[in-house]
């Protein structure tokens, strides 16, 4: 480490696209370069290093990275001209993994490219770019033999009341439309001990909720505390024993790995939130097969029935692709039907976009763009309707809310704070910043298509409210 690097504070700006795993990785990228003097800032202005943590899952996500890089080039040149100081620009994440060479051709001013499995090497990358004999550029998108989790700093900055914890990476499922098995590589699970250690630290730093993450999180099979193999239910029971941890979630799951023990955990563990993201992708068995999803629509319905039995108040969310090659009108109607049957209360829906190198990219029978657009609009209208109907059922109810941030109006005497319901609704109330980090009862007074508002009812905290509104 160079001498000056230890002493000068530098600004780091990270822009994150894509899934929650990328959000987690961005936090860890900030942790990894902290010893070099980099402090996270929320704007690119004045940044000494800018990292784009990218997503390659759909074409749109990739194109956004290149347009952002165009803007950063101007920033880099202006800064060098005005201050004589070089701003480092790096691309991390799945676009880096998949298109490292293309990035450096299209954007030669990029200083480094690191894949999702190599960002722990960022400190040495920075040193080789800024040291006495600086390299022009560093590209490292290998899948290293050593495990990045063994090389990340143990300490990390507080993520606040609701934290993410990555427990599993990669995917062996090979859905025919998906780049993840290629960009994130084969399935890998961390040890239960290392996960519990990290969870305890997050709780010590104020986390009341932990969302354990993995591309295929319910395929988790890490080394257990007894040296044998532990699966996701084992881990959830162990996490549930952590004092001070009040809420547990896990994302993202595959229907094939939703086994009976995992479903039983939803009956047994009060801390496990009654809201589950379980992507179906399509409601048509023909399309599910072409997607290599390895399950049918009825298999999915059976899982839901079991989940409902285990946890009657559970609500579901999903991912759906419309316009996969060969999708007929009837196939699409089957998708609409499973959306109704599953009573999804939230759902991410996408037009199919071919990803280079995936099997579906070579398929015939493409669906016309205008047909995709029309199907997506119909699907999204149905989902919005179900979501709003669900939200309306909360009117007048008192629900626990974990407040995790001050709202937009904070700073004024009538400050707002924002939190999450058990079902992941954004909930807005007037209240004191002191409630951030706490779970507080809220009476819902207003329901909107994608959020709720209400008043704090817990006695002790109601007085906080008075303080806040003067």
Q: What does 130 interact with, of ligand SF4, ligand 5AD, none (CB < 5 to 8 A by kind)? A: none
Q: What does 314 interact with, of ligand SF4, ligand 5AD, none (CB < 5 to 8 A by kind)? A: none
Task: Report, in Å, the least distance between residue 181 CB and ligand SF4.
Answer: 5
Nearer to ligand 5AD, 279 or 415 (CB): 279
Q: Tell me the two tokens of residue 431.
A: 């209240």
d(C-alpha 227, C-alpha 248), whole Å:
24
Nearer to ligand SF4, 163 or 171 (CB): 171
Q: What does 216 interact with, of ligand 5AD, ligand SF4, none (CB < 5 to 8 A by kind)? A: ligand SF4
Q: Is 177 in the site for ligand 5AD (CB under 6 A)?
A: yes
Q: Is 283 in the site for ligand SF4 (CB under 6 A)?
A: no
d(C-alpha 289, C-alpha 292), whole Å:
5
Which pairs count as long-range contacts for 224-228, CB under 8 Å and 24+ apart, including other chains?
224/192, 225/192, 225/193
Q: Is 173 in the site for ligand SF4 (CB under 6 A)?
A: yes
d(C-alpha 429, C-alpha 33), whole Å:
36
Provide the pairing of β-strand 229-231 with 221-223.
antiparallel
Q: Return the range that interacts with ligand 5AD (CB under 6 A); candidates 118-126, 209-217, 350-358, 410-418.
A: 350-358
Nearer to ligand 5AD, 57 or 87 (CB): 57
Q: Is 380 in the site for ligand 5AD (CB under 6 A)?
A: no
Q: Helices in 207-284 by DSSP H: which ranges?
A: 232-240, 260-268
Alpha-carbon distances of 360 from 110, 324, 357, 372, 446, rounded to whole Å: 31, 8, 9, 16, 44
Q: Residue 347: enclosing H or E segment and its boundaries?
A: strand 346-351
Q: What does 283 interact with, of ligand SF4, ligand 5AD, none (CB < 5 to 8 A by kind)? A: none
Task: Report, in Å, the least distance between residue 174 CB and ligand SF4.
Answer: 6
Nearest to 19 by CA among 126, 179, 175: 179
Task: Report, in Å, the least distance between residue 187 CB and ligand SF4.
Answer: 9
Q: Tell me the two tokens of residue 458.
A: 């817990």
Q: Is 174 in the site for ligand SF4 (CB under 6 A)?
A: yes
Query: Using the 8-state DSSP alphabet, how is residue 215 labeled?
Result: T
Q: Is 167 in the site for ligand 5AD (CB under 6 A)?
A: no
Site string for ligand 5AD, 279-298 (x = CB under 6 A): x-x-----------------
Site string for ligand SF4, 191-220 (x = CB under 6 A): ------------------------xx----
Task: Report, in Å, the least distance between residue 320 CB and ligand 5AD.
Answer: 6
d(C-alpha 329, C-alpha 319), whole Å:
19
Site size for ligand SF4 (CB under 6 A): 10
Q: Out of 52, 178, 236, 339, which residue is the one contacting ligand SF4 (CB under 6 A)?
A: 178
Task: Report, in Å, the least distance between residue 178 CB and ligand 5AD.
Answer: 5
Provide the pairing of β-strand 188-189 with 138-140.
unpaired
Site for ligand 5AD in 297-336 (CB under 6 A): 319, 321
Site string for ligand SF4, 133-172 (x = CB under 6 A): --------------------------------------x-
Nearest to 328 by CA among 382, 378, 372: 372
Q: Tell me the two tokens of residue 271.
A: 């801390």
Nearer to ligand SF4, 18 or 407 (CB): 18
Alpha-carbon distances of 267 from 272, 310, 463, rounded to whole Å: 9, 5, 36
* φ, ψ (nearest 5 deg) of residue 21: -65, -35
Task: Report, in Å, the least distance between residue 94 CB and ligand SF4.
Answer: 11
Contact 376, 351 (CB under 8 A): yes
| Residue whose structure tokens are 């109907």 | 389
Nearer to ligand SF4, 174 or 348 (CB): 174
Contact 453, 429 (CB under 8 A): yes
Nearest to 329 by CA among 375, 292, 293, 373: 375
Contact 401, 439 (CB under 8 A): yes
Task: Report, in Å, the least distance between residue 176 CB and ligand SF4.
Answer: 8
Q: Out of 90, 100, 160, 181, which residue is the one contacting ligand SF4 (CB under 6 A)?
A: 181
Q: Is 14 in the site for ligand SF4 (CB under 6 A)?
A: no
Q: Helices in 115-259 by DSSP H: which ranges?
A: 122-130, 180-183, 192-204, 232-240
Q: What does 352 interact with, of ligand 5AD, ligand SF4, none (CB < 5 to 8 A by kind)? A: ligand 5AD
Q: Tell me the two tokens of residue 161.
A: 């009341």
Task: Report, in Å, the least distance between residue 355 CB and ligand 5AD.
Answer: 5
Q: Out of 57, 96, 248, 304, which residue is the one contacting ligand 5AD (CB under 6 A)?
A: 57
Q: Other C-beta atoms within 10 Å of 57: how many?
A: 20
d(C-alpha 168, C-alpha 266), whole Å:
20
- Interacting residues toward ligand SF4 by CB under 6 A: 171, 173-175, 178, 180-181, 215-216, 254
- Interacting residues toward ligand 5AD by CB under 6 A: 57-58, 177-178, 279, 281, 319, 321, 350, 352-353, 355
């Amino acid at each position: 480490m160079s001498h000056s690097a230890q002493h000068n504070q530098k600004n780091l700006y990270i822009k994150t696209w894509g899934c929650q795993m990328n959000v987690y990785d961005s936090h860890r990228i900030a942790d990894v370069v902290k010893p070099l003097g980099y402090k996270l800032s929320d704007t690119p202005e004045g940044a000494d290093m800018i990292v784009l943590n990218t997503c390659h899952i759909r074409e749109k996500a990739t194109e956004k990275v290149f347009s952002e890089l165009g803007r950063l080039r101007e920033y880099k040149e202006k800064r060098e001209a005005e201050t004589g100081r070089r701003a480092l620009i790096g691309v991390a994440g799945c676009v880096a993994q998949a298109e490292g060479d293309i990035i450096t051709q299209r954007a030669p001013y990029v200083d480094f490219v690191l894949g999702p499995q190599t960002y722990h090497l960022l400190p040495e990358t920075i040193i080789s770019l800024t040291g006495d004999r600086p390299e022009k550029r560093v590209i490292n998108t290998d899948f290293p033999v050593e495990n990045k989790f063994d090389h990340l700093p143990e300490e990390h900055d507080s993520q606040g009341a609701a934290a993410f914890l990555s427990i599993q990476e990669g995917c062996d499922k090979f859905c025919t439309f998906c780049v993840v098995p290629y960009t994130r590589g084969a399935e890998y699970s961390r040890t239960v001990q290392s996960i519990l250690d990290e969870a305890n630290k997050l709780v010590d730093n104020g986390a009341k909720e932990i969302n354990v993450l993995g591309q295929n999180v319910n395929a988790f099979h890490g080394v257990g505390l007894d040296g044998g193999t532990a699966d996701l239910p084992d881990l959830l029971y162990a996490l549930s024993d952590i004092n001070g941890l009040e809420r547990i979630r896990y994302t993202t799951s595959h229907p094939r790995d939703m086994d009976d023990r995992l479903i039983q955990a939803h009956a047994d563990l009060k801390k496990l939130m009654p809201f589950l993201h379980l992507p179906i992708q399509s409601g048509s068995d023909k399309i599910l097969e072409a997607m290599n999803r390895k399950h049918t629509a009825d298999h999915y319905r059976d899982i839901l029935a079991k989940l409902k039995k285990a946890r009657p108040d559970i609500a579901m969310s999903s991912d759906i692709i419309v316009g996969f090659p060969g999708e007929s009108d009837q196939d699409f109607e089957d998708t609409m039907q499973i959306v109704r049957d599953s009573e999804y209360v939230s759902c991410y829906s996408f037009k199919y976009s071919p990803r280079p190198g995936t099997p579906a990219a070579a398929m015939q029978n493409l669906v016309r763009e205008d047909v995709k657009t029309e199907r997506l609009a119909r699907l999204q209208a149905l989902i919005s309707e179900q979501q709003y109907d669900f939200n309306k059922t909360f009117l007048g109810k008192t629900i626990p809310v974990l407040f995790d941030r001050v709202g937009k109006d904070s700073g004024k005497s009538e400050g707002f704070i924002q939190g999450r319901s058990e079902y992941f609704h954004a909930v807005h109330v007037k209240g004191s910043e002191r409630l951030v980090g706490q779970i507080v009862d809220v009476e819902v007074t207003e329901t909107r298509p994608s959020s709720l508002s209400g008043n704090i009812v817990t006695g002790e905290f109601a007085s906080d409210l008075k303080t806040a509104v003067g």
